[in-house]
Chains A and B, each alone.
Chain A
Amino acid sequence: GAGVSQSPRYKVAKRGQDVALRCDPISGHVSLFWYQQALGQGPEFLTYFQNEAQLDKSGLPSDRFFAERPEGSVSTLKIQRTQQEDSAVYLCASSFGTGAYNEQFFGPGTRLTVL
């Protein structure tokens, strides 16, 4: 399909493990966003990329969270030494341009459960 895809869809990790979540944005989309959605809550912003540049990482909750988009397309969100409070759905969104009016298209999310 032509939408945003994310993998894996579900991830179970033991506390202390490292995880990597992948996002494939819509082809040609310049902007890429990561959001974290805790159970029963609205998504919360984590970080933003414009092409390969990470322009805003103000939402990353700790230095255990790291995101990259080395070639300006696929992005990976890495969480080191996972904690139980990291359990959430991680949503990726992309938009064609960089302006304010560009609609963000969301992927299906990765549900992370930390035991």
Chain B
Amino acid sequence: AQKITQTQPGMFVQEKEAVTLDCTYDTSDPSYGLFWYKQPSSGEMIFLIYQGSYDQQNATEGRYSLNFQKARKSANLVISASQLGDSAMYFCAMREGYRADSSYKLIFGSGTRLLVRP
């Protein structure tokens, strides 16, 4: 079973508008973390935002915010005021198992390619 599902292979957004990238996850672990990464064409994974399963408030980092709906197991990324430089692949990832022996590996979704139109 897929642990991280990103159902939008590609998205378009007009420059300066907001866009929501969807992510749903599956875990039975009560403690987990959710991450969004940006991967431009250069290939490097750039950390954007983090949400812990026990965090009461939705995470925000500048133009990025995470719409965390725990009961629905969704962690959508909202990018406000899109810029041309936001065109990239976006990956949702989960880290589960906050145990002493955990490797804390990241489990990634298949990604969403965002294209910002001028």
The reply to whether A109 and B108 form a contact with Cβ atoms under 8 Å apart is no
The reply to whether B104 and A100 form a contact with Cβ atoms under 8 Å apart is yes
Q: Contacts A45-B105, A100-B104 given; indicate if A108 touches B44 (C-beta within 8 A).
A: yes
Seen from chain B, the residues whose Cβ lies within 8 Å of a Cβ on chain A are 4, 31, 33, 37, 42-47, 50, 52, 91, 93, 95, 98, 101-111
Q: How large is the interface on A (under 10, 10 to 19, 20 to 34, 35 or more residues)?
A: 20 to 34
The reply to whether B111 and A45 form a contact with Cβ atoms under 8 Å apart is no
Q: Contacts A56-B103, A100-B33 given; indicate if A43 touches B44 (C-beta within 8 A).
A: no
Q: Which residue of B lies closest to A107 (CB)?
A: B44
Seen from chain A, the residues whose Cβ lies within 8 Å of a Cβ on chain B are 31, 33, 35, 40-45, 48, 55-56, 59, 89, 91, 93, 95, 98-109, 111
Classify the secondary structure of B's interface with A: loop
Q: Contacts A89-B43, A106-B45 given; indicate if A101 touches B105 (C-beta within 8 A).
A: no
The reply to whether B98 and A100 form a contact with Cβ atoms under 8 Å apart is yes
CB-contact partner of B104 in A31, A35, A41, A91, under 8 A: A31
The reply to whether A108 and B43 form a contact with Cβ atoms under 8 Å apart is yes
The reply to whether A55 and B103 form a contact with Cβ atoms under 8 Å apart is yes
Residues of chain B within 8 A of A95, CB atoms compared: 104
Residues of chain A within 8 A of B31, CB atoms compared: 100
CB-contact partner of A106 in B33, B44, B104, B111, under 8 A: B44
